Amino acid sequence: MAKRVLLALVAIALACHASANPTDSTDSTQVGRKERRAHTSGHELRNPLLNAAYQFVKEFSRVDTQYVEPQHYNFTVMLQNTNTYEIYHLANKTGQEIVFVPKPSVKLGPYVGWRWVFLGYTVDLTHLSDGDRKQDLNLSLYSNQIGIDVFYRKSGNDYTISRMDLGKQYDTSRMRGASFDGFHSSITGGNLYYIFNHRKFSYPAAYSQSTVQRRTAGSPMMGIGYTRHSLEVDWAKLADLVEQRLGATNADGIIDSSMRFSKVKYTDYSVSGGYGINWVFAYNWLFNASAMASLSYKRSTSDVQNEEKDFFRTFDFKNINLDGLFRLGLVWNNTRWYAGASAVFHAYNYRKDQFKTNNIFGSVNIYFGYNFGRR
């Protein structure tokens, strides 16, 4: 058993190695097939299982080198600035709404990479000494045909009220910008997506700089996703803040009971589709834009006041919502030096009869790096 596990791990490593070394697929003639066989035979492995896995991935990861130039170096070092943003919008059926926004996080740190492995550490410059409990972990892997995003976010205690509307009879302008430490949220999940035109369109060229896009190309994409969300509001603390800022009495009665849940948890299963394009507008320059819309089924448990806990446990088409994933990237890469910026934003919607929430979170990265150790 241990031997099989070891062989599987080695096969995965070889697969990643093959993906990191894409081969030319511009030839479609019989001569091209002979060249591929000759090339493959030079990299045969002794173990038949490992060799079959290696040759399959090698063939599957081919790129058209007229469109995509493979990486020429084994190692890279990079300095990256990461800026994270988040918005939570709560609204109920009476028209009341509250928008919570945390202070943006500004992070800076070094990264070191070997082919497809990239490790780094960043320091949150905006929360060095304020005791904030915010946690943020993001992992993205980009190959020619498959992309993987894994993320975990847990809010800290630095939220502010960006906007509040309790009805026309209340002037809530004094609530704008008020600090509020009674809002807590977390999200854990991941996305897996497939790139159809992976021989001409390179996601790594835009987001991991392991290849260089030489000609403009685009591709349809399809994926699946899974996330777990948790949302909690201390309404008693918010009522105290409303009374303090607005001079109102009985703030508990002002905020409609349909919004005053103590905690909501839901799991999101999604199927997505979209399109991405790499626009090569000048030599060594690339602009990427991609968008994916997803149909998401949200299975939830909630202790909303006056609602039974088993309400969400049966399938209901009302639990299907539309979510989104958006990416933008600008890169300059001459294969030795590279620099650029990228933005990734996730949008989630959760709707029930009595209230709804909308959450947008994402990050903007600015980086520059150097490749070395020619292959």
Q: Is residue 200 assigned to a domain?
A: yes
CB 24 within 8 A of CB 62: yes
What lies within 8 Å, CB to CB, of 15 at 6+ separation is 53, 54, 57
Of 40, 62, 84, the last residue of a domain is 62
Q: Is residue 259 assigned to a domain?
A: yes
Q: Is residue 33 assigned to a domain?
A: yes
Indicate whether 365 pLDDT > 60: yes
pLDDT digits (tens, 9 = 90+) for 250-270: 666 777 777 777 788 888 999
More reliable by pLDDT, 194 or 50: 194
Do 58 and 84 fall into the same domain?
A: no
CB 362 within 8 A of CB 343: yes
d(CA 138, CA 151): 4
Do 53 and 100 fall into the same domain?
A: no
| Region of residue 341 (phi > 0: left; psi between -120 and 50: alpha; otherwise: beta) | beta
pLDDT bin (cut points 50, 70, 90) of residue 3 is very low
Do 151 and 8 fall into the same domain?
A: no
Q: What percent of the chain has pLDDT over 70?
A: 77
Q: Is residue 67 assigned to a domain?
A: no
Q: Is residue 173 assigned to a domain?
A: yes
pLDDT bin (cut points 50, 70, 90) of residue 60 is low
pLDDT mean over 316-329: 86
CB 98 within 8 A of CB 90: yes
Q: How far is CA 68 from the centre of its chain?
A: 24
Do 84 and 123 fall into the same domain?
A: yes
Residue 185 buriedness (CB in 10 A; 0-12 / 13-18 / 19+): buried
Strand partners, 98: 90, 164
d(CA 237, CA 234): 5
CB 268 within 8 A of CB 297: yes
Do 22 and 161 fall into the same domain?
A: no
| Region of residue 250 (phi > 0: left; psi between -120 and 50: alpha; otherwise: beta) | left
pLDDT bin (cut points 50, 70, 90) of residue 332 is very high
Q: Is residue 172 assigned to a domain?
A: yes
Do 33 and 171 fall into the same domain?
A: no
d(CA 331, CA 366): 10
Question: CA-CA distances (angstroms) from residue 340 to 20, 72, 101, 113, 364?
Answer: 21, 19, 27, 17, 11
pLDDT digits (tens, 9 = 90+) for 138-166: 777 777 888 888 888 887 778 899 999 98
pLDDT digits (tens, 9 = 90+) for 6-19: 333 344 444 444 44
Do 303 and 199 fall into the same domain?
A: yes
Do 58 and 78 fall into the same domain?
A: no
pLDDT at 354: 77
Do 196 and 100 fall into the same domain?
A: yes
Q: Three-class SS of residue 8?
A: helix
Strand partners, 329: 288, 342
Counting the structural domains of the chain, the total is 2
Provide the terminal-to-terminal Cα distance of the chain, rounded to the nearest Å: 35
pLDDT at 80: 94
More reliable by pLDDT, 177 or 12: 177
Q: What DSSP string runs through 60-113?
A: HT-B-TTTEEEP-EEEEEEEEEEEEEEEEEEEETTS-EEEEEEPPEEEEEEEEE
Lowest-pLDDT choice from 4-8, 98-102, 199-203, 311-315: 4-8
What is the CATH number for 355? 2.40.128
Count the Cβ atoms, other than its own, within 10 Å of residue 283: 8
pLDDT digits (tens, 9 = 90+) for 75-106: 999 999 999 889 999 998 888 899 999 888 88
Do 39 and 99 fall into the same domain?
A: no
pLDDT bin (cut points 50, 70, 90) of residue 57 is low
CB 319 within 8 A of CB 302: no
Q: Is residue 110 assigned to a domain?
A: yes
Do 224 and 316 fall into the same domain?
A: yes
pLDDT at 131: 59
Domain that holds residue 319: 73-374
Do 195 and 266 fall into the same domain?
A: yes
Alpha helices (H) in 145-286, listed in sequence order: 203-207, 235-246, 251-254
How much is the pTM? 0.79
